[in-house]
Chain A
Amino acid sequence: MIPVEAEPDVLRLPPFRYHRPGTVAEAVALMGEHAGNAMFVAGGTDLIPNMKHRLFEPGHLVALKGIGELRGIREDAGHLRIGASETLTSVATHLDVLRSFPALADAASHVAGPQLRNAGTIGGNLCLDTRCTYYNQTEFWREALGYCLKKDGTVCHVTKVGKKCVAAHSADTPPVLMTLDAVATLVGPEGVREVPVRDFFVTDGILNTLRGPGEIVTEVRIPLVSAQKKQAYAKLRQRKSIDFPLLTVAIAADIEGDGTVRSIEGVVTALGSRPRVLSGWGDTAEGHKLDDGIINELAQRAHKQCHPLENITVDPEWRRAMVPVYVRRALEKLGAA
């Protein structure tokens, strides 16, 4: 039997106490009680490996999985409300999601592998930590390089000179939620606030969301009018079975019966620290049909705007070259939807 302490090659969690509150209010209070030394955990699929890598070492974990208020997917007052601790499996397979927001179900079904989708939650996907070659590594590996800007160090090994972290936003569902005008509800010590998912992310690889450390994302709400939009999602990754995205494209469009585009929006991510809303798409496509010419023009516009850095292990030039390819694929999917 492997001695628990004496085995250096397995990844151990740092010690912590595990709290299981029954309500959101209790969870917020527990976080206040241990402020600065506690973190929320839902599915744990992102946090637990990060803790094993010593990226976080909170003395207390406040578990959200057992809180009934955070569960449920239901239509209510013109919205589809998804409780933040609904698993990605449940989002990917729920009939209301599949019927109204197929691109969201598609995105959820492409996160990692089945076991991780059984544990990981939609709220957790929204709050996923950014990823970088120089960050998601063991303590040993990071120490050997003198650490990095995002954790314990002062140098960014990606930009070499920059003082801003460029770790990649790598969640699959937020780009889709943005194109569907979804709103996230956050509850914290200051009360409740609602933030459009579109405004939830900031350009900072270290803390790339507006969520405060004491705040819980309790719900994601999508207006049912967004169900009228044609939607598509496309994901590039090394292995189709388990990997984080190298590039994710989400598109939603209002298209008239004769195929004329009334409005269109595209969002890409896994390139920089937050999802990017592609600009200039309305001017290109509105009032036109999505024919080959327009699709090519949209794809080229996307290509011009995306400049990935070497923040994840795959060649950034290749990732950039794949932008128009995946945008085109998503647009073709949209046309067929």
Chain B
Amino acid sequence: MTLQPPAGLATLSAMSSTSEIVRLTVNGDNHAVGVPTHFTLLETLRYVLGLTGSKQGCDKGDCGACTVLVDGQPTLACLTPVWEAEGKQVLTVEGLATVDGPHPLQDAFDVHGAAQCGFCTPGILCSAAALLQRSPRPTRVEIQEALAGNLCRCTGYTKIYDAIEAAAVAQAGDGSSQAAG
């Protein structure tokens, strides 16, 4: 797939605001890119870096579809001025898998049918990855609380909970599994 240049970006920066160079580490890759100074982390990920895995849902902090990990913490990229991500490790859904294969959560979501329309999935995977990092065998209540800020309107969550529990078991049983973050 060829990555298109961010359409409109040049127009925007020329007409309404100054662009500056922001230095980001996303999924282990270092980037130095010019962005309008009022860009959010989400706009930078999607429209400058072409990482469209993180979704633009409500765009005002309600839905959690834009959740990424900033220094391991679930963070709403739509409310984060891009400058706040400088000097930190940003992990998006694109960074969960390794060359060896998908993240155990991604495997489990597949096996358990935990995604329907899939729009909330990238954010949920990020919230869940942070949960497994701090609590490798979470209870169902812990899972529910960790996903409280991620709205899913399709699944009713049950299969998502099942998948996260299964991923926790898989991770515990396989020391070679990649730990997120």
- Select which of B52, B76, B83, B146 is within 8 A of A18 by beta carbon: B83
Which residues of B are found within 8 Å of A63, using beta-carbon distances?
A: 81, 83-84
Which residues of A are found within 8 Å of B165, using beta-carbon distances?
A: none
Which residues of A are found within 8 Å of B60, using beta-carbon distances?
A: 11, 48-49, 52-53
Across the two chains, which residue of chain B brings its CB closest to A20?
B83
Bound complex: CA of A314 vs CA of B67, how far in Å? 29
- Select which of B36, B43, B67, B83 is within 8 A of A115 by beta carbon: B67
Min CB distance, A126 to chain B, in Å? 19
Interfacial residues, chain A to chain B (CB-CB below 8 A): 1-6, 10-11, 13-18, 20, 41, 44-45, 48-49, 52-53, 61, 63, 65, 112-116, 118-119, 240-242
* Inter-subunit contact A115/B75 (CB<8 Å): yes
Bound complex: CA of A6 vs CA of B76, how far in Å? 24
- Select which of B38, B74, B79, B127 is within 8 A of A45 by beta carbon: B79
A-B contact pairs, 23 of them (CB 8 A): A1-B6, A2-B47, A4-B6, A4-B7, A4-B43, A10-B59, A11-B59, A11-B60, A16-B17, A16-B37, A17-B17, A48-B61, A48-B81, A63-B81, A63-B84, A113-B149, A114-B146, A115-B64, A115-B75, A115-B76, A118-B73, A119-B75, A241-B148
Q: Which of B1-48 contact A (CB under 8 A)?
A: 4, 6-9, 11-12, 16-18, 36-40, 43, 46-47
Across the two chains, which residue of chain B brings its CB closest to A14?
B38
B56 close to A (CB within 8 Å): yes
* Inter-subunit contact A18/B38 (CB<8 Å): yes
B177 close to A (CB within 8 Å): no
Across the two chains, which residue of chain A brings its CB closest to B77?
A115
* Inter-subunit contact A15/B79 (CB<8 Å): no
Min CB distance, A299 to chain B, in Å? 29
B145 close to A (CB within 8 Å): yes
Bound complex: CA of A2 vs CA of B46, how far in Å? 9
Which residues of A are found within 8 Å of B67, using beta-carbon distances?
A: 115
Bound complex: CA of A158 vs CA of B3, how far in Å? 49
Which residues of A are found within 8 Å of B7, using beta-carbon distances?
A: 1-4, 6
* Inter-subunit contact A114/B59 (CB<8 Å): no
* Inter-subunit contact B84/A112 (CB<8 Å): no
* Inter-subunit contact A18/B75 (CB<8 Å): no
- Select which of A6, A52, A118 is within 8 A of B74 by beta carbon: A118
Which residues of A are found within 8 Å of B62, using beta-carbon distances?
A: 242
* Inter-subunit contact B81/A242 (CB<8 Å): no
Bound complex: CA of A63 vs CA of B8, how far in Å? 27
* Inter-subunit contact B80/A112 (CB<8 Å): no
The winner among B7, B61, B145 for most chain A CB atoms within 10 A is: B61
Bound complex: CA of A52 vs CA of B56, how far in Å? 14
* Inter-subunit contact B64/A113 (CB<8 Å): yes
Bound complex: CA of A126 vs CA of B18, how far in Å? 32
A4-B7, A115-B74, A115-B76 known; A13 vs B148 contact (CB < 8 Å): no
